[in-house]
Amino acid sequence: MLSEKLMAILVCPLGKSELRQEEGALVCVRCGPRFKITHYGYPNLVIEDAELPEGCRSLADLPCQRESKK
């Protein structure tokens, strides 16, 4: 479990949205990629390592990426 102080400053590296903690990962509340928390307790916020939400085949399919191209 990450501290409240750390959670207050962490954001999704793509859309800069809030993250929530879920079962060993941080999940973007806006576009849904899951960022695993390592066994050392640090979140891996490298977007290329993120697990994409169901229905997204690539980063370009994420809502935050489609909206930014408009």
Give the residue extent of every domain in the chain.
4-68
- Backbone φ and ψ of 62, nearest 5°: -70, 140
Contact 35, 45 (CB under 8 A): yes
Q: What is the pLDDT along the chain (70 residues), one digit of tens a residue?
A: 899 999 999 999 998 999 999 999 999 999 999 999 999 999 999 999 999 999 999 988 988 887 766 5
Question: In angstroms, rounded to a whole number, what is the distance separating the alpha carbons of residues 24 and 26?
Answer: 7
Distance (Å, whole) CA 69 – CA 59? 13
SS3 67: helix
